[in-house]
Amino acid sequence: MTPLLELRDVHKTFQGRGRTVRASRGVSLKVMPGEVVGLVGESGSGKSTVANMALGLLAPDSGEVLVHGERLIGASRKREKELRARVQAVFQEPLLALDSRRTIGWSIAEPLRIHGRGTRAEQEARVAELLTAVGLDPAFAERLPSQMSGGQLQRVNIARAIALDPELLVCDEPVSALDVSVQAQIINLFLEVQERLGIGMLFISHDLAVVRHLVDRIVVMYAGRVVEEGPTDELCANPHHPYTRALLAASLEPDADEAGVGVRTATTDATAAEGVPQEGCPFLPRCPLAEPACSEMPVVALAPTGPGRASACRRSGVLVEAGASTSNHD
């Protein structure tokens, strides 16, 4: 079976004013048909770069980004259009993702118009059907984005993303900009859509708590690398990488330091990008499990630590054993 989306050893570096950000340093990941994969990591870990490359909005410096086994960038215009119809996106800022000058109905009908699906009347009927499917009144079609709330707008974006019956949704922090009360509703909508359409998803979030109820498998990124991956329940019950453990603690406790994890939960780009050593383990300065020997090693590659699981840490073994003896990581 061909993966819906596959990244093979993808690198991407941004050159800024006197500053180089290596957003992606050899990321590999796959999303199989119908599979829901969560990509987590703090801001600056390279998640959004991966999303933009998966969507063909950004070309990798090296490595391959394949949709159905084919490259999006560099494909013929006709083929690119066909591939794009299969992979749709939901972005973080629901208001900015829509054209402020266009009505909601126009925006939802846009993918149908681009791909020449149906007559105008059929498109209008489909817009009404899609609005109903995402829990909105079809009368919203004549509104402008500025006349709607963030939660309603994200529903509109979801309606637009499923208009073409895609096989994969790439969702880049789709609930981060919403009120907490609305977040749960939108996550439920994603669950509902996923169940009904059997669609594959790459769901990107900085918040493990958001992702764990939605996805089959979790991929954890740190400083442009995948540091751990595994099935959701097992990975959350027993993380094999100290960074995952810190993320879990941060998503459970209001203050990670007081919880005794001993790791700063950094949230800014700068911390992640600048606080990372150029050589060796990128997590070393923040790692509670670090030993002197860790600093003498090159970067540890992602290696299997169990069935369907992998971690990139010299000390994974300690965590694997800890998990085997107790079921609770706290």
Partner 1 sequence: MSTAAQAAAPARSRGARRVRWTPRRIVLLAIGALILLIVLFPGLFTSDTWNKVNVADKFLSPSWDHPFGTDEAGRDILQRMIHGARLSIGASLAVAFAAAAIGTIYGAIAGWVGGWVDRILMRIVDVFLAFPYLVLAMALAAAIGRDMKSAIIALIIVWWPSYARMVRGRVLSLKRDLHVRAARTLGASSAQLLRWHVIPHTFGEVNARLTVDIGYALVALTGLSFLGLAAQGTSPEWGLMVSTAKSFVLSAWWYALFPGVVILLTVLYFVRVGDELAGEES
Binding site for partner 1 (CB under 8 A): 55-57, 77, 80-81, 84-85, 87-89, 91, 93, 96-106, 108-111, 114-115, 120-121, 123-125, 127-129, 132, 137-142, 144, 157, 160, 164
Is residue 86 classed exposed, middle or buried when 0-12, 13-18 and 19+ CB atoms within 10 A define those classes?
Answer: middle
Which DSSP string corresponds to 34-76?
T-EEEEE--TTSSHHHHHHHHTTSS--SEEEEEETTEESTTS-
Give the shortest CB-117-to-partner 1 separation in angstroms: 11
Burial of residue 206, with CB atoms counted within 10 A of its CB: 0-12 exposed, 13-18 middle, 19 or more buried: buried
**Which is nearer to partner 1, 48 or 194 (by Cβ)?**
48
Query: 108 vs 247, which CB is nearer to partner 1?
Result: 108
Q: How far is the CB of 177 from partner 1 (least distance, A)?
A: 11
Is 146 or 278 the residue whose CB approaches partner 1 more closely?
146
d(CA 7, CA 291): 32
Report, in Å, the least distance between residue 175 CB and partner 1. Answer: 16
In the complex, the smallest distance separating the C-beta of residue 276 from partner 1, rounded to whole angstroms, is 26
Distance CA 329, CA 32 (A): 30
Of 128 and 313, nearer to partner 1 (C-beta) is: 128
307: tokens are: 């069935």
CB-nearer residue toward partner 1: 131 or 235: 131
| Minimum distance of partner 1 from residue 313's CB (angstroms) | 35
Pairing mode, if any, of strands 309-311 and 303-306? antiparallel
Tokens of 201: 């998803």
Contact present, 156 and 136 (Cβ < 8 Å): yes
Q: Annotate 142-185 with DSSP letters as a single string.
A: GS-GGGS-HHHHHHHHHHHHHTT--SEEEEESTTTTS-HHHHHH
Q: Kindly tell me which of 9 and 142 has the beta carbon lying closer to partner 1.
A: 142
Residue closer to partner 1 by CB (options 55, 281) is: 55
Report in angstroms how near the CB of residue 210 gets to partner 1 at its nearest. Answer: 21
Q: Indicate the residue among 23 and 98 with the shorter CB distance to partner 1.
A: 98
> Would you state the structure tokens that stand for residue 75, as one six-digit string?
């494909």
The nearest distance, CB 218 to partner 1, in angstroms, is 24
In whole angstroms, the minimum distance from the beta carbon of 282 to partner 1 comes to: 29
Q: Rg of the chain's alpha carbons, rounded to an integer?
A: 21
Count CA atoms within 13 Å of residue 303 on its CB side.
Answer: 10
Specify the residue, 52 or 311, whose C-beta has the smaller distance to partner 1: 52
Contact criterion met (CB below 8 Å) for 213 and 187: yes
**DSSP 8-state class, residue 279:** S
Beta carbon of residue 168, minimum distance to partner 1 (angstroms, whole number):
11
Q: H/E element holding 88?
A: strand 87-90
Give just the sign of the alpha carbon dihedral 131, 136, 137, 142.
negative
